[in-house]
Structure 1
Amino acid sequence: MQPTYMDDAGWDKLISEVAQSFDDLTLKRGFQYYKQKRLHAFKMMTDREIMCIVEGREDYVTAVKLDHLPESRCGCPVSGMCKHMAAVLMQYAEDQERPVHSIANAKALVDRPKIPAKAPAVPGRRGEQLKKLAALIPGATVQQWREYMALILEPLIHTVRNPQYADRGLAAITGAAPKLSPAAGKLFKLHAHLCVLESLIKPGGQPLAAGLSTLSYSVGYYTSIAVSDLQKQILQMMKQSLPLAEAPEEWPRVYDTIAYLRGEMLAEVRDRSREQPYLANCYSLLWNHWITPNLSGPELYAKELVELKQAGEALSTSASRHALLLAESRMHVFLHEDAAAMEKLRTAAEHPGLHPQEVMDFLSPLAGARQWERLTDWLAVTGPLLSSRLYNLQDYAEYWDDAIHYLPEAEPRMWETLSGMLPLSREIYEEQLLAYGKWQEWMDIQLSSGHRPADFRVSDLQPVEKNAPELLLPFYHQAVERFVLEKNRHSYKAAVKLLKRLAKLYKKTKREARWNEFLDGFLDRHSRLRALQEELRKGKLIP
């Protein structure tokens, strides 16, 4: 269903209830699960109830009631409010475009007055120095900008690295800057965010953690929240276009930004973590959203390939080699050299450290450019590379839908690719079978997998019942016999419930005679099961 956005009063009430219902340690653990992207099949059942599968030692079905949190439930062993519920609430906050750290820090936020971010005081000669530097910003280089920003942040060096620190740092940098053109202003704002991010993860000039993916364990809980918030702000900012057509004089700063992110991307540590290497993502966004829309020829892509090759000669770690291969592959895509791009991407995927979203990032520019044949080729190549079972393939399936809508002959390639990705693709494969009306194939999977009707909601089976009701007959028959074999009162009740649904299906398909024949045989086979006979009478299936 379409999300209904919570108003400010409802949001404040939710924060208060979170603070009352959860202890701080549970919220911290929930934040780790949220950051590690352990939530799958997140769905609003109603405006006030959420269902989600949260990956822990097992996959736990978690239901959260926003109106009354203590009534929420989870399949995990914990009695009461658990980290899985907290993670679901944080995902809800993200979907509502509310600050996730408000949930994570609920206990600290309740009853605490909101203090607006203020720029730190700038006393004495340092203040005069900053005023002079600020006046030079319109004509300064990116490197000079960054030196100015570092000076602005100096008074905050010994303060706690938390979301308030980040807010104060950004307010200090942007508040002191003079008015800039739209393009320069966006570039300045990007580097301001990146500078504050660096001060969080490299307070002494060296990273505190192996990489952004492990920040929450190495630099502290509140610093991790601050980093997460900055990441989202930067990503949203870079998804908006950069108006270089009206300001061609900003290209030197764009080149400096490319060089900066290239270096940071290649130095970024990669591991088997659940999170996408962040600076590599910034590099991708820079090209996709800020540079490519402003180019009319291939020269800059070719030049970047040369720069990457030169930078690659100095690399010493295999992790950096991943980033290099991905960046080179992206430039080959921009140059329409798909064979070379695919080869480099496959090579990068041979070793741990490649995040599934980095693979998916190759699809967006092709879909945006409506290059459906190329998109189909890339979907067939990238599907098998999405090797993480934690990755949600919904976006991948939607790209297939777009391609097939404009290129119907590509549908067989989708089925071939999705079937080749099993068992990883099972959930999305089954959803696509239903969406494309492949009722028989969908039912064959359920029967061969031993699934029962009880594994599905009635609404899940409605499309099959409406379009191919006869296919449900063996499904229900199989489940009835299994329930009877369990030989207990509860299973007999479940069997009778299914038998009544069978009766309706036989009537709907105008096979009442076959239903009567089956029921007579069923009663004869199980005539000695008195408890079953009693349940059949209660269900009015026999007199």
Structure 2
Amino acid sequence: MQERSVKEWTRLFYSCFSFPTMQKGWRLYTMGQVIDYDLNPDERLLEAHVAKPGANWNFYERPSLSLGDFRDSECTCLKRNCEHLAALAFTYLEEELDIDSQLILKPGGSAWGQSESVSSGAQSVWDSPKAGIAASSVKAAKVQAPAASSSVEEWHSYFRHRFPPERLSTLRGGDTFYNTVYGGLAPISSAWHPTLRGLYELHVLLFTFKLLDELSGSGYRYSLGYDYYAIRQLFSDLFNQTYDQLLRLLRTLHGEEARSLYSEHLQATADYLARHAFPLSAGFVSWMPIYISIWSGLLMEEARTDREKARLSRAARQEEVSPALFDQLLTARILFDVEEGQDEAAWAKASQLKSRGHIRLYPFLFGFQHTGQWARLQLWLEKLAPMIREKWGQPDETYYELWSHLLDKHAAREAWERVMLQLLPASLPYYLDQLMRQERFQEWVDLHMAFGYTPLDLRVSDYKPIELKRKSLLLPWFHHSIEKLIAEKNRDSYKRAVRLMKKLRTMYGKLKQKERWELYLNHIREKYSRLRALQQELGQLTKGEA
């Protein structure tokens, strides 16, 4: 069946739908309420879910549109020629035929012919006071699909036309969003030169990040029906999925070839990051890792780098710059010091970061880790320890994990131990973990005694390796803990002391030192003979032996 002309589509729309119904249907389409539409070309039938704006996704209608004659269509709302069918019809025109909806909606256009007219009430969808955001998503002129000769700006113009945020605001899951956007745009470049195709896909990912930023804003976030924590997890998953793809792509891009053949595209990429990677307020998208990854992996070139450094310095000197934006600009500036091997200059700038600055430096440390720059990673971790304590409190788990990875690859034990001791008591769990891994059992036990921990404060599995290999090292800890509990002089502490004594008795038995156990038990009885409650609990211990 040959497809209709725009004029024929216009006649079909107005023979089936009233203009107010078309307005409602068009809004449903442009707000992204048409989801999971399915085209059956053999039966000329189009089906979809259409949700109500702002409603929970459990509330939707299921229109079934007959492309042969709209009047043969059906919808679960049970109304004839409803707005849900109109929304589906607009979806078919835009998505399958690439016909501009405005040609249908705007009376007096070329699709109407000179003799066509409409009632005075049917002016234009633009007259609706509710058109608002949706109006910005409809093109005033035809937007061409990207070609190998297109500019980066033309790519993004098409991306925005194809996927305005209001049309994606009801997508319920990460896979749906990612597959819809990336899967809908990336294949366009499949026949292009591989490096140009890589640059195009890079901008598809940048557009995806920008969409996530917009959709996570309050204007869309609350219409999704999630609470804040579910929203945060959803967008965190989406960001991680997109960022992982970005890193994979950057590993395959040929930087030298891109700089030689597509310098304009690279400059446009730098310009895009300058506009979007420094938001005035924090959102769910972490732009700085994106900025760092693309610049360090692709954009580094002397003239372009000099321009960017100058731009960052100018922006940071502006009087109205907020502390958060200042930190972003300074972090970006640190990137270029790191790339040029100017670590002293980078540390000097890092000391100026205002809020939890060590977290902003982690991308550089991850870079050292991924490229095997172990000595450099050690130097940065050592330098950060006093800086963190003086300016930002205590390190977080990521800092200690970086040390752990370093110890697996590099002889840095002395430096690690020096830093862990500096950071006590916050570093104690991580220090103890490494001591156990290194089988430094005596130091592990000594630290638990020094910080007042008893074996009852831990799981048996925590010290099981010592019990299996050097059981005798545990004896002083048990003796010390028993004395500590008795000194608290209350019935509950006495019970806990006797629990430890039962375990101690078992240990002495396995060491074949039963006589030492008897001497110790008699010593406790005599030393604390006046503590009647303790003596009663010790009686339970003797009873247990029988």
Displacement of 1:420: 1.7
* 1:401 to 2:407 alignment: yes
What per-residue deviation string (whole Å, max 9, x for no partner) do you get for residues 273-320 of structure 1?
A: xx98601121122234x328xx7x866655542342244345622221
Match of 2:274 among 238, 251, 262: 262
After TM superposition, list the pairs within 5 Å mapping 1:387-466 onto structure 2: 387=392, 391-393=396-398, 394-402=400-408, 405-406=409-410, 408=411, 410-466=412-468
Q: Look up the match of 1:352.
A: 355
* 1:148 to 2:158 alignment: yes
> In 2 relative to 1, CA 465–336 (structure 1 residues): closer, same or farther, beyond 3 Å?
same
8 Å CA contact 1:200–1:223 kept in 2: the answer is no
Displacement of 1:331: 1.0
What per-residue deviation string (whole Å, max 9, x for no partner) do you get for residues 474-530 of structure 1?
A: 321233234456677765554344223323444566755543321211133455445
> In 2 relative to 1, CA 504–397 (structure 1 residues): closer, same or farther, beyond 3 Å?
farther
Q: CA RMSD in A?
A: 4.3
8 Å CA contact 1:244–1:251 kept in 2: the answer is no
TM-score, normalization by structure 1:
0.63
Match of 2:327 among 317, 322, 326: 322
Output the amino acid matched with 1:195. F
Displacement of 1:152: 0.8
Q: Distance in 1 between matches of 2:499 and 2:507?
A: 13
> In 2 relative to 1, CA 222–172 (structure 1 residues): closer, same or farther, beyond 3 Å?
farther
Q: Distance in 1 between matches of 2:194 and 2:523?
A: 79
Match of 1:243 among 253, 259, 262: 253
8 Å CA contact 1:156–1:165 kept in 2: the answer is no
Displacement of 1:342: 0.9
Q: Distance in 2 between matches of 1:449 and 1:108?
A: 54
What per-residue deviation string (whole Å, max 9, x for no partner) do you get for residues 84-114 of structure 1?
A: xxxxxxxxxxxxxxxxxxxxxxx989xxx9x
What secondary structure does 2:252 align onto? coil
What per-residue deviation string (whole Å, max 9, x for no partner) do you get for residues 447-489 of structure 1?
A: 2222121221222112333454343223212332344566777
8 Å CA contact 2:165–2:211 kept in 1: the answer is no
Greater CA deviation, 389-398 or 443-452? 389-398
Displacement of 1:216: 11
Q: Distance in 2 between matches of 1:165 and 1:366?
A: 33
> In 2 relative to 1, CA 201–283 (structure 1 residues): closer, same or farther, beyond 3 Å?
closer
Q: Distance in 1 between matches of 2:225 and 2:450?
A: 43
Which runs of 5 or more structure 2 residues have no equivalent in the other structure?
1-55, 63-87, 104-138
Q: Look up the match of 2:238.
A: 230
Q: Distance in 1 between matches of 2:407 and 2:284?
A: 25
Displacement of 1:332: 0.6
Output the amino acid matched with 1:285. S
Match of 2:287 among 264, 267, 279: 279
Match of 2:214 among 202, 217, 225: 202
Q: Distance in 1 between matches of 2:376 and 2:190?
A: 45
TM-score, normalization by structure 2:
0.63
What secondary structure does 2:163 align onto? helix
8 Å CA contact 1:162–1:225 kept in 2: the answer is no
What secondary structure does 1:126 align onto? coil
Q: Distance in 2 between matches of 1:319 and 1:420?
A: 29
Output the amino acid matched with 2:521. L
What secondary structure does 1:444 align onto? helix
> In 2 relative to 1, CA 339–135 (structure 1 residues): closer, same or farther, beyond 3 Å?
same
Q: Look up the match of 1:6.
A: none
Q: Look up the match of 1:73.
A: none
8 Å CA contact 1:312–1:321 kept in 2: the answer is yes
Q: Distance in 1 between matches of 2:483 and 2:454?
A: 11
Greater CA deviation, 424-433 or 188-197? 188-197
Greater CA deviation, 516-525 or 301-310? 301-310
> In 2 relative to 1, CA 136–371 (structure 1 residues): closer, same or farther, beyond 3 Å?
closer
Q: Look up the match of 2:185.
A: 173
Q: Distance in 2 between matches of 1:219 and 1:180?
A: 43
What per-residue deviation string (whole Å, max 9, x for no partner) do you get for residues 387-431 of structure 1?
A: 4668324422224314xx43x3x3222122122223332221221
What secondary structure does 1:450 align onto? coil
Q: Look up the match of 2:119.
A: none
Output the amino acid matched with 2:292. S
What secondary structure does 1:140 align onto? coil
> In 2 relative to 1, CA 198–370 (structure 1 residues): closer, same or farther, beyond 3 Å?
closer
Output the amino acid matched with 2:347. M
> In 2 relative to 1, CA 538–137 (structure 1 residues): closer, same or farther, beyond 3 Å?
farther
Q: Look up the match of 1:291.
A: 298
State the identity as a percent: 23
Displacement of 1:215: 12
What secondary structure does 2:277 align onto? helix
Output the amino acid matched with 1:257. T
Q: Distance in 1 between matches of 2:371 and 2:223?
A: 36
8 Å CA contact 2:381–2:403 kept in 1: the answer is no
Q: Distance in 2 between matches of 1:217 and 1:521?
A: 68
Displacement of 1:533: 3.4
Output the amino acid matched with 1:228. S
Displacement of 1:142: 2.0
Greater CA deviation, 469-478 or 185-194? 185-194
Displacement of 1:130: 12
Q: Distance in 2 between matches of 1:174 and 1:398?
A: 39
Q: Distance in 1 between matches of 2:238 and 2:501?
A: 56
Q: Look up the match of 2:536.
A: 531
Structure number with bigger Rg:
2
Q: Distance in 1 between matches of 2:368 and 2:182?
A: 35
Output the amino acid matched with 1:227. F
Q: Distance in 2 between matches of 1:507 and 1:216?
A: 64
> In 2 relative to 1, CA 427–152 (structure 1 residues): closer, same or farther, beyond 3 Å?
same
Q: Distance in 2 between matches of 1:401 and 1:207?
A: 41
> In 2 relative to 1, CA 310–182 (structure 1 residues): closer, same or farther, beyond 3 Å?
farther
Greater CA deviation, 485-494 or 257-266? 485-494
Q: Look up the match of 1:521.
A: 523
- The alignment covers a number of residue pairs equal to 409
Displacement of 1:207: 5.6
Which runs of 5 or more structure 1 residues have no equivalent in the other structure?
1-106
What per-residue deviation string (whole Å, max 9, x for no partner) do you get for residues 240-263 of structure 1?
A: 113225853344323322332233
> In 2 relative to 1, CA 533–157 (structure 1 residues): closer, same or farther, beyond 3 Å?
closer
8 Å CA contact 2:163–2:181 kept in 1: the answer is yes
> In 2 relative to 1, CA 153–500 (structure 1 residues): closer, same or farther, beyond 3 Å?
same
After TM superposition, list the pairs within 5 Å mapping 1:303-322 onto structure 2: 304-314=308-318, 316-322=321-327
Q: Distance in 2 between matches of 1:435 and 1:216?
A: 47
Output the amino acid matched with 1:265. A
After TM superposition, list the pairs within 5 Å mapping 1:494-505 onto structure 2: 494-505=496-507
Q: Look up the match of 1:337.
A: 342
Q: Look up the match of 2:149.
A: 139
Q: Look up the match of 1:71.
A: none
Greater CA deviation, 475-484 or 444-453? 475-484
8 Å CA contact 2:278–2:325 kept in 1: the answer is yes
Q: Distance in 2 between matches of 1:327 and 1:236?
A: 20
